[in-house]
Amino acid sequence: RPAQRVDATGHRLSGYCARFRVPFSYNGIAQKWETIQPEDLKIEKDELVIVNCMSRSGTLLDETVEANSPRDAFLALVRKLNPSLFIHGVVNGTFNAPFFVTRFREALFHYSSVFDVFDETIPREAHERFLIESEVYGKEVFNVVACEGAERVQRPETYKQWQVRTMKAGLRQVALDQELMEEAKAMVKANYHKDFMVDVDRHWMLQGWKGRTFCALSFWQPA
């Protein structure tokens, strides 16, 4: 259950921090993101606020399901928090269409590339690969293809669509450090499969395979 998982996360983090003697407090909230209010987070005066959202915003419903888009409500909440930095990582996908045939075709292209990565980098008999394919990507594919309405939780948009949403919410993008990006590209080229890619577009760091972008990372501050 969500509340139990949130509490369990807090206990694990508390244990790690106690082990390394790091001061720590945890305020777990188990409710829909779009219903959270700034006061629920119990932010202290002059406290440094950083919002980190990695590959989770794509599971929020959008305006095709609810008139008051939970995605826009989430971004509005981030703006109200007035964070020093908002770190946003998204799955870059085009299979959020309400029409089944379009969604199926785009999902086929996306997940074919994902499984191509596995074929090139992980032996088929590897137990870890079996777990990832069955417990992560297999469930995602099932949800995209077999579920409709609010039951379909895998709803990725492109990073360009997220850029428009985020700017409308009153946030401005922070440029990537070019020196760090060059180091990242060099590291990938030297240590990873030749078909992995790291690139930059519109101040987003893109990661992908054979020219297809899988995910994108950006940084934002209040405008």
**What is the tens place of the pLDDT at every residue in 111-146?**
999 999 999 999 999 999 999 999 999 999 999 999
Alpha carbon 159 to its chain's center:
10
What does the pLDDT read at residue 2? 80
What does the pLDDT read at residue 174? 97
What is the secondary structure of 130-141 as a DSSP string? HHIIIIIIHHHH
Distinct helix (H) and strand (E) counts, the chain: 7, 6
What does the pLDDT read at residue 28? 92
Q: Average pLDDT for residues 45-70, to the nearest whole number?
A: 94
Does residue 1 register a pLDDT over 80?
no
What does the pLDDT read at residue 88? 98
Does residue 110 register a pLDDT over 80?
yes
Does residue 104 register a pLDDT over 90?
yes
- What's the token pair of residue 197? 């890619």
pLDDT tens by residue, 29-39: 999 999 999 99
What does the pLDDT read at residue 3? 87
Name the band, by pLDDT with cuts 50, 70 and 90, for residue 157: very high
3-state secondary structure of 200: strand
Name the band, by pLDDT with cuts 50, 70 and 90, for residue 189: very high
What percent of the chain is modeled with pLDDT above 90? 93
What does the pLDDT read at residue 170? 98
Q: Average pLDDT, whole number, for the chain?
A: 95
Q: Average pLDDT for residues 214-223, to the nearest whole number?
A: 97
Q: What residue type is assigned to position 135 of the chain?
A: E
Per the CB < 8 A criterion, the answer to whether 215 and 207 are in contact is yes
3-state helix, strand, coil in the chain (%, to 5): 50, 15, 35
What does the pLDDT read at residue 98? 87
Per the CB < 8 A criterion, the answer to whether 93 and 161 are in contact is no
Per the CB < 8 A criterion, the answer to whether 181 and 200 are in contact is yes
3-state secondary structure of 19: helix
Element (H, E) at 50: strand 50-54
